[in-house]
Every structure is written in structure tokens, then in C-alpha cells.
């Protein structure tokens, strides 16, 4: 085709790998700091990790593919119920339960994607709401399988590696969740930077251009829905293992809407933003709700309005911009 | 005579109810170079878009490598071997140079982007820059490189030199000539810079109001001042 091939330049790849490892180390450090600072709140922290997986999964389709969704709870809840039902039927190995949650979430992601990708814009958003509401109602009606409004309970996951019990203090669940989050985050960083991830971002920017490159949008987006479903399903399964209860709230419009709010808060299209948004929203909810259980949503609403007005790209986007400006001013000063 | 890589027969196409192209027929052999000339608004860009399946077709057929692609959609046409570098460049401005190139790999290994850097070394220097941070010339290089990575058998270049500085035009023309020299691609070249278009082409067609009104060799056109004046809007070449 063209002339001689130049030797592949590995320096930028090594730099990117270094940045990724640093990011993962920071997540691990933040997790350990959470354990050290709030040893009595490990159940809450595990819930933060579980919801972070949900918000990461939402970022894959909203932030990287430009698909509007208010139904991500359908994938999270499917993973939670699948793991919960499997556990009640004798599958108690935690790693296997996470895999079952991931597989169930991926299958639901494929189904949800196959329906949602038939529409665009607002109709697509409405479809996502309809799907989560339908699943919520199905979980409510199928009480013999799901426990209905009482929820699934009585699950007893086996100890981690046969040693660490999922006890009342929640240490095992927390560290299990933290390790899962780090692994999933590393995998997602790889996926969003792969050629497949670039095609998804290209589709978000202009589907026609991608089409002119010979790429059909539907299979690409469906694949991302499946990946997103697997991640959300793992989050749901983690919640099921940690709390040993699966309720209707795990497959609700409310959790779907909250996930979107967390994503907007942290910054759409940045995986780190999904984590930052989740931590800040849930910490606000936790602290402010404890101080004032009646008006905590007012404060959360005020914070959100401030973010949207003054940092429309979310917290991570604003941090990115600040870092870029700082680098530029240093560079100019250096000249 | 080599078999036609691109064969367009009686093509009529346009937008909605508006017919732009009427009964356009031409063929280009494998590895051939065809320049398409004509004044503004005569249908050159519409012809490129129609070959890519981006317009409404009313009649006619298009074949690539002997296979009829008339009924195929845009993505399928691209997979069948047509690659378009559009007039508007249309790079992904929110992605870096390297990410833009990744998007064009179509399943090829990541290392294939070295081919793009070999063709346009400037892109290697700018690999970390966003598409929006590139100059017009660099955007054109990126748009071309991204299309080339898909290994098209028919490359459509729609006014690639428009609005660019002469030095950048020279760099691009050198790259296009290298691509053409490999013989692996059939190239259709729409360009307002007459000298560049004639120097590059083996054959030339002129479009006037959506119809082909002249076709022949570049030297024949150079010698035909009346045709140049009438259909291209220049009095002659020196």
C-alpha cells in the first residue's frame, strides 16, 4: 500500500500504561482510605462500589455511544436477581455469582439494546424507561421466583476463597467489591481506548461518517450494550452478595435516574467521572440525609444545579480543563 | 485493456425530488486515475456522494470490481471497497489523531496505523492532538489516512486541496501520487485546481449541470481552450 513501515513507537503506550496504573493505584488507595477512615460504614462503602459499577456501565452507553438511557437499573437489577436466585438454588461461590450476574446483565443488555437501538433521541429515552418499568413490574408479579415486594432473602454466599466469610461487618464484601471494581475499571479503560471504543465515540459524534468507513452502527452499539449489561450485572450481583437481599429497588426507575445524575455530576464520557460522581452523590446523600432526612434532596438538587451551571462537563471534565490550562500556562512561562 | 474496477452506468441521482446527476456513465480501470472537473454546483460532490450511497438514486447502476453495489447501503459500499475522503474532511474533532486512525482500522491490527504515519509523517507528530486542534492541511491528511487504512480499492478524493496553502497542497499531491503509484487503488479526483487535476489524472471527465459533457486525456483537454473556457471557466493553461 504505502512505503516502508516505520518502527512502532512504544513510548506513548508506556506513558498511557503508566497513567492507567497510577489511576488504578489511586482507586485502590482511595478504597483503603475509606476502609481506614470509616470502618463502621463498610456496608455503605460496598454499596458505593456496587453503584459505581452501575454508573460506569451507564457511561459506556451514554458517554461513549451517545445513547440516552434512563433504564440502566434493568441491567443492574437483572444481575442482582440472577445472582440472588442462583445463590438460593445452591450456587454459593461468590466469583461464580458475579459471573452469573454479568452473564444475565449481558443478555438483558443485548435485549435492551435490540429494542432501544430501533429508536433515537427522546423515543429511545422513553423506551429505556418502559423497559425498566416492565422489568420492575415483572419482578413484582413473579413473587414465587423473586420474592415480589418482600424481595429475595436468605442467600448465604460461601466464604471468599473458602476462608473469608461475608459477615456482619462487611470486610470481605468490601474488599471483594473493591478488587472487582479495580479489575472492571482496568478492563473498561482498555475497551474505551481500543479501536472498538473509538468507533463507539465516532458513532456518538457522527454516525454517517462511521458508516462511510464501512462500519454498521447496530452491531457495534449492541456489543457495547452487552458489555454495559455485564458491568451493571456485576454491580447488581455484588449488591446481592454483600447485602444478601435483592429488592425491587434494584430494578427501578429511581436507581436508573440516580445513576444518570451521578454520571452528569462526575462527567459524562470519562470513566473517572463515573467514579467521582458516584462517590460524591452517595456521600452527600449519606451525610446530608443523616443530618436532615426531610430536606436532603434540596441540597443535592442545589449542588446539581451549581454543577450544571458552572461545570457543565461535570467535575472530571472541569478538572481536566483546569489541568490543561495549568499545563499550557507553565509551557508558556517556560518559553 | 484492464478490466474496469469502477463502472458507472446511466446514473441519475440527487436529493429528495431534486435531480442533480443525469445519465452519468464512465468506467475506470483497476489502478486508474480519473479527474472530474466542472464549475461549482455542477454535481461533482453529488457524484462522489452517490458512489458512496449518500444520495437518492433514481436510475442507473454502479459496479466495483465487477460486482453490482447499486443496492447496497453506505456501510456495505465502504466494505465492498469504496473509500471516500469528503470535501468537508469530517474527521472526529473530539478524538485525537491516533484515535481517529483507530476508528478507521476496520479490524486491522493497531500497528497498521504506522502506514498512515509513513504516508503523512506530520500526523505522527500530532498523534496526541485533538482533531479540532489540527490545521486544515493536517485535517485533510488525517481524513485521507483514515480512509486509506480501510484499504479501499476505489478511493474518492473530493476537493482535497480546497483552501490549503500551496506547500501543503504539494505535500498532499505527493502523497496521492505515491498512493496512485502503488497501483493498488483506483482513484477518482475532484479538484478545482486545474493543473493539479490534469497532472494527476490519466483520464478526465467534465460535468456540466449533472451530465458528462466531455471526456478524454488530460493533454487533449489542455489543448482545447474552448472547452476549458466553456465548462471549467479558465481560458487556457500555460
Q: Looking at the domain assignment, is residue B131 inside a domain?
A: yes
Q: Looking at the domain assignment, is residue B45 inside a domain?
A: yes
Q: Looking at the domain assignment, is residue A231 inside a domain?
A: yes
Maximum distance among all Cα pairs of chain B, rounded to whole angstroms: 51
Q: Looking at the domain assignment, is residue B216 inside a domain?
A: yes
Q: Looking at the domain assignment, is residue A308 inside a domain?
A: yes
Task: Name the residue facing B127 among A12, A210, A215 (closest C-beta).
Answer: A12
Report phi then psi at A198, rounded to 5.
Answer: -65, -40
Q: Looking at the domain assignment, is residue A1 inside a domain?
A: no
pLDDT digits (tens, 9 = 90+) for A262-276: 999 999 998 999 999
3-state secondary structure of B163: coil
Site of grid cell 479501536: A195
CATH number of the structural domain spanning residue B27: 3.40.50.300
CATH number of the structural domain spanning residue A261: 1.10.3470
pLDDT at A1: 40
Q: What is the mean pLDDT of chain A?
A: 90
CB contact under 8 A, B103 and A195: yes
DSSP string, B73-136: -HHHHHHHTEEEE-TT----TTSBHHHHHHHT-TT--GGGHHHHHHH-HHHHHTTTSBGGGS-H
Q: Looking at the domain assignment, is residue B225 inside a domain?
A: yes
Of the pLDDT bands very low, low, confident and very high (cuts 50, 70, 90), residue B3 is: low
CB contact under 8 A, A216 and B75: yes
B150 CB within 8 Å of a chain A CB? yes
Whether A42 shows a pLDDT value over 80: the answer reads: yes
Task: Name the residue facing B103 among A8, A202, A208 (closest C-beta).
Answer: A202
CB contact under 8 A, B150 and A214: yes
What's the first-to-final CA gap in chain B, in angstroms? 32
List CB contacts (< 8 A) between B86 and chain A: 212
Mean pLDDT for the stretch of residues A76-84: 97
Site of grid cell 500504561: A17
Q: In angstroms, rounded to a whole number, what is the distance separating the alpha carbons of residues A235 and A104?
A: 12
Q: What's the pTM value of the predicted model, to 2 decimals? A: 0.81
Choice among A6-20, A46-60, A317-331 with the minimum mean pLDDT: A6-20
Q: In angstroms, rounded to a whole number, what is the distance separating the alpha carbons of residues B231 and B38?
A: 6
CA nearest to A248, candidates A155, A137, A157:
A137
**For residues A144-159, b (16+ Cβ closer than 10 Å) or e, as one string?**
eebbeeebbeebebbe
**Domain range for B192:** 4-232
Q: By the 8 A CB rule, do B107 and B172 touch?
A: no
Cell digits of residue B6: 469502477
Helix A253-266 / helix A42-62 crossing angle, nearest 10 deg: 80
Q: Looking at the domain assignment, is residue B161 inside a domain?
A: yes
pLDDT digits (tens, 9 = 90+) for B154-185: 999 999 998 888 889 999 999 999 998 888 89
Q: Looking at the domain assignment, is residue B238 inside a domain?
A: no
Which residue of chain A comes nearest to B128, CA vs CA?
A12
Task: Provide the pairing of β-strand B67-68 with B56-64.
Answer: antiparallel
Q: How many domains does chain B have?
A: 1
DSSP string, A182-241: HHHHHHHHHHHHSHHHHHHHHHHH-HHHHHHTT--HHHHHHHHHHHHHHHHHHHHHHHHH
Q: What is the ipTM of this complex?
A: 0.72
Q: Looking at the domain assignment, is residue A312 inside a domain?
A: yes
CB contact under 8 A, A205 and B93: yes
CA B13 to mean position of chain CA atoms:
18
Q: Is A298 exposed, middle or buried (0-12, 13-18, 19+ CB in 10 A)?
A: exposed
CB contact under 8 A, A2 and B146: no
Which residue of chain B comes nearest to A215, CA vs CA?
B75
Of the pLDDT bands very low, low, confident and very high (cuts 50, 70, 90), residue A5 is: very low
Q: How many domains does chain A have?
A: 1
**Domain range for A206:** 22-334
Helix A217-243 / helix A171-193 crossing angle, nearest 10 deg: 170
Task: Name the residue facing A214 among B94, B102, B106 (closest C-beta).
Answer: B106
Q: Looking at the domain assignment, is residue B69 inside a domain?
A: yes
pLDDT at B236: 53
pLDDT digits (tens, 9 = 90+) for A191-228: 998 889 989 998 998 888 888 888 889 999 999 999 99
Cell digits of residue A148: 415480589
Amino acid at each position: 500500500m504505502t512505503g516502508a513501515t516505520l518502527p512502532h513507537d512504544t513510548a506513548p503506550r508506556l506513558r498511557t500504561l503508566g497513567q492507567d496504573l497510577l489511576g488504578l493505584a489511586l482507586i485502590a488507595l482511595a478504597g483503603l482510605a475509606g476502609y481506614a477512615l470509616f470502618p463502621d460504614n463498610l456496608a455503605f462503602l460496598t454499596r458505593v462500589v456496587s453503584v459505581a459499577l452501575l454508573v460506569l456501565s451507564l457511561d459506556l452507553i451514554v458517554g461513549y455511544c451517545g445513547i440516552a438511557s434512563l433504564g440502566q437499573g434493568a441491567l443492574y437489577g437483572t444481575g442482582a436477581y440472577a445472582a440472588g436466585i442462583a445463590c438460593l438454588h445452591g450456587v454459593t461461590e461468590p466469583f461464580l455469582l458475579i459471573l452469573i450476574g454479568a452473564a444475565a446483565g449481558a443478555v438483558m443488555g443485548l435485549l435492551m439494546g435490540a429494542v432501544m437501538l430501533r429508536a433515537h433521541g427522546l423515543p429511545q429515552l422513553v423506551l429505556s424507561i418502559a423497559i425498566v418499568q416492565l422489568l420492575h413490574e415483572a419482578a413484582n408479579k413473579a413473587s414465587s421466583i423473586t420474592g415480589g415486594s418482600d424481595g429475595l432473602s436468605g442467600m448465604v454466599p460461601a466464604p471468599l476463597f473458602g476462608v473469608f466469610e461475608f459477615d456482619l461487618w462487611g470486610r470481605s464484601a468490601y474488599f471483594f467489591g473493591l478488587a472487582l471494581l479495580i479489575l472492571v475499571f482496568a478492563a473498561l479503560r482498555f475497551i474505551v481506548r481500543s479501536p472498538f471504543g473509538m468507533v463507539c465515540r465516532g458513532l456518538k459524534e457522527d454516525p454517517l461518517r462511521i458508516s462511510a468507513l464501512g462500519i454498521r452502527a447496530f452491531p457495534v452499539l449492541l456489543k457495547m450494550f452487552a458489555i454495559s449489561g455485564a458491568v451493571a450485572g456485576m454491580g447488581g450481583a455484588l449488591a446481592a452478595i454483600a447485602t444478601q437481599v435483592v429488592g425491587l429497588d434494584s430494578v427501578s426507575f429511581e436507581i436508573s435516574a440516580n445513576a444518570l445524575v451521578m454520571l452528569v455530576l462526575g462527567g459524562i464520557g470519562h470513566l473517572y467521572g463515573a467514579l467521582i460522581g458516584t462517590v460524591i452523590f452517595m456521600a452527600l446523600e449519606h451525610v446530608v440525609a443523616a443530618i436532615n432526612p426531610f430536606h436532603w434532596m434540596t441540597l443535592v438538587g442545589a449542588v446539581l444545579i451549581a454543577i450544571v451551571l458552572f461545570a457543565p462537563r461535570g467535575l472530571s471534565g472541569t478538572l481536566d480543563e483546569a489541568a490543561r490550562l495549568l499545563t499550557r500556562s507553565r509551557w508558556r512561562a517556560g518559553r | 485493456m484492464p478490466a474496469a474496477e469502477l463502472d458507472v452506468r446511466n446514473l441519475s441521482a440527487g436529493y429528495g425530488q431534486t435531480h442533480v446527476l443525469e445519465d452519468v456513465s464512465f468506467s475506470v480501470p483497476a489502478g486508474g486515475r480519473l479527474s472530474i472537473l466542472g464549475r461549482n454546483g455542477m454535481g461533482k460532490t453529488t457524484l462522489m456522494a452517490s458512489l458512496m450511497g449518500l444520495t437518492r438514486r433514481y436510475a442507473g447502476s454502479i459496479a466495483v470490481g465487477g460486482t453490482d453495489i447499486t443496492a447496497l447501503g453506505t456501510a456495505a459500499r465502504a466494505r465492498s471497497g469504496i473509500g471516500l475522503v469528503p470535501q468537508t474532511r469530517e474527521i472526529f474533532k473530539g478524538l485525537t489523531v491516533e484515535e481517529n486512525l483507530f476508528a478507521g482500522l476496520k479490524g486491522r491490527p493497531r500497528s497498521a496505523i504506522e502506514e498512515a504515519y509513513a504516508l503523512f509523517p506530520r500526523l505522527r507528530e500530532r498523534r496526541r492532538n485533538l482533531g479540532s486542534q489540527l490545521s486544515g492541511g493536517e485535517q485533510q491528511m488525517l481524513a485521507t489516512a483514515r480512509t486509506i487504512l480501510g484499504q479501499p480499492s476505489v478511493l474518492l478524493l473530493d476537493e482535497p486541496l480546497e483552501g490549503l496553502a500551496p506547500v501543503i497542497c504539494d505535500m498532499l499531491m505527493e502523497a496521492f501520487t505515491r498512493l496512485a503509484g502503488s497501483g493498488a487503488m483506483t482513484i477518482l479526483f475532484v479538484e478545482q485546481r486545474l493543473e493539479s487535476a490534469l497532472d494527476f489524472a490519466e483520464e478526465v471527465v467534465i460535468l456540466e449541470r449533472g451530465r458528462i459533457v466531455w471526456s478524454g486525456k488530460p493533454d487533449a483537454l489542455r489543448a482545447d481552450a474552448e472547452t476549458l473556457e466553456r465548462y471549467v471557466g479558465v481560458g487556457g493553461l500555460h
